[in-house]
Amino acid sequence: MDSFYINGGNKLFGELEIGTSKNAVLPILAGCILCDKKVILHKFPKYQDTLNMLKILQSIGASCELIDDVAIIDCQSINKCRIETELASKLRSSIFTLGAMLSRFKKAQIAYPGGCAIGARPIDLHIKGLQGLGVKIVDKHGFLYCDGSNMKSGVINLDFPSVGATENLIMTSVFLKGKTKIINCAREPEIVDLVNFLNCLGAKISGAGTSVIEIDGVKNLNGGEYTPISDRIIAGTYIIATCMCGGKITLKNVCVDNISSLLSKLKNNCCKMSIKGAKISLSVDRLPKAISKIETQVFPGFPTDLQPQIVSMLSVARGTSVVVENLFESRFKYVSELKKLGADIIVNGNTAVIKGIPNLYGAQVQSFDLRGGAAMVLAGIVAKGYTIVRDVNHIDRGYFCIEDDLKKLGVDIERIKEV
């Protein structure tokens, strides 16, 4: 179990290139199951979650090779369609393999997925959608046993625009004869990236980025090469960190349109921004101001995955802010740790009221989940004195060596391996 030791108070200066999106790569890796030829993914991010997904592919017989930042995936040798509990419990995105295995092999068995403890996150939308395409599903002994021998194309109307369910249903439908339509689907950039990847290999999918996606079935997918999009949450995290600490940074390889909801909240707040193509420069010379209200929403609304980080920023802002979490009922779990640093936050149900204070002060805190852990790091780098963030392995699931990036910006941070 690793910890971060942070000596806070430094302003941030420097330049970083934003790496590839974890949430884009995970469904793309599952999509490789649909191909019986090699797929080459460039700028492959070595987050703990993406490495676990490679292990899942290997467990069912795929060949996975990493050469520097290039992943070579060959799913021709897949010889089983069962994901065991030990692997599925480490990664919620293991559920994406369900649709891909059903599409190619007409059967699948998968243990219930794991992931961060930020709420129930039920998979009922996945199950209901698959059943709408003719999949027979039996739930017993902690496994989903799926028979897709009688699958057929159709129209699926999602009760909620779930990202995971949308991605799963897309992959399930790639080889179905005729046209499948998904209504009220999610519009996240990672879905657009998955569709671009599949179309690059020969799929016929249209409407990604809108609320209706149509899939015209094809007989097979070819191999190919692809470079997934950059990570909007990592970019947002470093932008928020700079607003908290002050300084001047430049981020390269940023999909600016994908973080517009964050940038609109920060505009005319505490920073000067310059955007040129995929590069954003940020200059901050004063404390952030409170934001009257932020509500997390599905894309293009404010992302729930930036909610803990923005609350961390608002804890040192001038004035009182309100943040409403509409997606995950346990997302505010980290607040108890933020209070140990002196933050003045009251949580009532899905609403947090944050009264900004001039300074946070170093303390020992715990990382309970990926994004809450990132919020602890941000609080630690602005706090006076030393902060210890424990159990940072959660953070490794979605940030590759976050301490190295922060060091490049001037943060005094060290990773300590605890025995």
Distance CA 400, CA 382 (A): 21
Q: Residue type for 154, please? A: G
Name the token pair of 134: 């003719």
Q: Are 403 and 379 in contact (CB under 8 A)?
A: no
Q: Which of 32, 35, 64, 116 is catalytic?
A: 116
The angle formed by the CA atoms of residues 172, 175 and 176, to the nearest 5 degrees, is 80
Distance CA 31, CA 350 (A): 35
The angle formed by the CA atoms of residues 45, 24 and 307, to the nearest 5 degrees, is 95
Let me know if 116 is a catalytic residue: yes
Name the token pair of 214: 């149509």
Name the token pair of 139: 């739930």
Whole-angstrom CA distances from 102 to 76, 133, 419 are: 15, 11, 43
Q: How many CB atoms lie within 10 A of CB 120?
A: 9
Q: Which residues carry out catalysis?
A: 116
